[in-house]
Structure 1
């Protein structure tokens, strides 16, 4: 997705016909009207999408870590669905510049999805998503080969909105399980969870998810009743090796192998400006910490610090400089390995879907 981010007041969000803080899918015509309404406002265009934000942030963190310790950083690949329009070319170029290996080609005659991100003075963000041309999600030979040799496969919840998602995600997860890779799943947003709850539960009940990321509202939608972050982490953590539940300014809770870790928020000296991308950065921080062999408490601290790095300015993606500061703020990862050995997040046995 290409993000179009603008700072607006509450009245603009109300006129857009969407609840503040929510997400709504819009048509190309609605997108044109919104962009026309934003014409007098300054807005920023960037390569985005929740998965892209997470992968770029994870790549920056791993590169910063390996610059400190020497050696080459892990490679990060992305299976994306973009059109052959200007937005698609822009997104591909930005991802490659960030060090991503793109595992799919733009589809001829199609348009790329965009997200209009409206940020109000209270740092809240509202999303209006145009999904682009109807495209069927498929796995290329390059994608299958990459999944078969990866350590971590991240499945973005928003993919469930696409045609062919059930088959493609099932195939990707099956390949990852067969190769012993860790499977991480994000939930997207509460509305998406409500629409595709059965698909999320199918993966969870089959034991196909090792790490689950959700915020408190998404977890409530998945469990179909209001919950605290701690309750959600405990309940969902019984279905996977690790469940991380974020709760905005209240911090987060992580449940792993029967242990609950309450993670306080980490505040920088600058006041929050834009919370867009905080959850994506949190996900990247936790996965980086896992790959580095940190213990559970340190994984929580790293996740919170990574999330806080992106909320004190406009823009959803962690920068190279911010990643370097996060890595520098954490003690050397090698010092954690002995303490983390008893809490290793090993994938469960492979399951055939």
Structure 2
């Protein structure tokens, strides 16, 4: 494969809601929290009578869908060879799992993992408020360890790029899973990229994430909040001579530029997105600042903005673009997603990007 993602498969259930509904559900606007099966039922009950969409989702799934669609569009528009994109991870043998597999395969993403017998596929209920903020209630489904078996190791050996999803850290045995996957990638010359998930995931699993980075992450992708949370737990206090308290002070409210510079020594390529301030990228000791791709109208739905940015970044990386071109491509893809409802890059938007 050109790109193999390691993640948990999720199905997105998305709806536009008002602030009153968020208050009734007692969820903080813009947050992401894990919910039980019963809590998910209560959230879905509130959506009765409202319009909503159902799609294969999850953070890395959104990225892989976007990547595959960009590759397909470029192949049709410019004659580039299509990208071979695949995903491995947890998938139940339920109807949601069948739906997820069918949607991913139709978009050009091969689902390399067999369904887990008796397993339940996870869901994310995405509630978008009028100010385009999204609030997510995630039910992980069957919480099981992703097995890095002989088949998955063989898939990694045949891949150019392995992408580890940050949300994977929420699953049992994630540190062992990621360590085995990175070790397999290192043995076979496969480049390793890692996303951070969200700031809460980073705070809960910072030590494990740093262990993965030290084991051999080549490309680290975060937003400013995630980078700040990660640096608060930076091992050995390398960037802050005063240690723990000084590290916390230095990391607090740092700019995206400062965060990228501090993370830069740990990975070959570091990307820190910072909302409407653009993104900051480091490689080989150099820092590049990439402005956002401005739109004529305000964002419609910011759900999936980071996932779309990652799709554009990985597409440009696999096409051997330079760092600044990678950032610009990523910004354009993110803009295409936030200008409409839904967390994924549509085939029509991918076609338009390929022609422009």
TM exceeds 0.5? yes
Q: CA deviation at 1:204?
A: 2.0
Task: Please say if 1:287 is aligned against 2:296.
Answer: no
Provide the aligned length of Structure 1 versus Structure 2.
Answer: 328
**Cα displacement (A) at 1:136:** 1.9
- Identify which of 66, 71, 90 aligns with 1:62: 71
Aligned residues of 1:138 and 1:164 also touching (Cα < 8 A): no
Please give the alpha-carbon distance, in whole angstroms, between the structure 2 residues aligned to 1:274 and 1:114: 19
Structure 1, unpaired ranges of 5+:
330-353
CA offsets, 1:269-312, max 9 Å, x none? 34311101110010111111111121222111101001000011
2:113 aligned counterpart, secondary structure: coil
Map 1:324-335 → 2, pairs under 5 A: 324-329=351-356
Q: How far does the alpha carbon of each residue in 1:203-231 deviate from its partner, in whole angstroms, 9 at most, with x for none?
A: 2234x111111111111111123221111
Does residue 29 (structure 1) correspond to residue 38 (structure 2)? The answer is yes
1:260 maps to: 287
**Runs of 4+ more than 6 Å apart:** none
| CA RMSD of superposed structures (Å) | 1.3
Q: CA deviation at 1:71?
A: 5.4
The alignment status of 1:317 with 2:317, answered yes or no, reads no
Counterpart of 1:209 in structure 2 is 217
Match of residue 303, structure 1, among 317, 326, 330: 330
TM-score, normalised with respect to structure 2: 0.89
SS of 1:176's equivalent? helix
Larger mean CA deviation between 262-271 and 55-64 belongs to 262-271
Given candidates 123, 132, 140, the residue that maps to 1:123 is: 132
d(CA) in 1 for partners of 2:304, 2:101: 19
Q: Deviations over 1:125-176 (max 9, x none)?
A: 0110000022221124332211001111000010011112111111111111
Query: Which stretch has the larger CA shift, 25-34 or 291-300?
Result: 291-300
Q: Is 1:230 equivalent to 2:257 in the alignment?
A: yes
**What is the rounded CA distance, in whole Å, between the counterparts of 1:324 and 1:260 in structure 2?**
31
- The answer to whether the Cα contact below 8 Å between 1:115 and 1:127 also exists between their aligned partners in 2 is yes
What CA distance in whole angstroms lies between the structure 2 residues aligned with 1:81 and 1:273? Answer: 31
Does the Cα contact within 8 Å between 2:91 and 2:121 map onto a contact in 1?
yes
Matches within 5 A, 1:129-140: 129-140=138-149
Shift, 1:110, TM fit: 1.6
In the alignment, the residues of structure 2 paired with residue 311 and residue 282 of structure 1 have an alpha-carbon distance, to the nearest angstrom, of: 10
Task: Give the CA deviation at 1:202.
Answer: 0.9
CA distance in structure 2 between the aligned counterparts of 1:96 and 1:180, rounded to whole angstroms = 27
Determine whether 1:42 maps to 2:46: no
Q: In structure 2, what is the Cα distance between the partners aligned to 1:324 and 1:237?
A: 34
Aligned to 2:105: 96
Match of 1:347 in 2: none
TM-score computed with the length of structure 1 as normaliser: 0.90
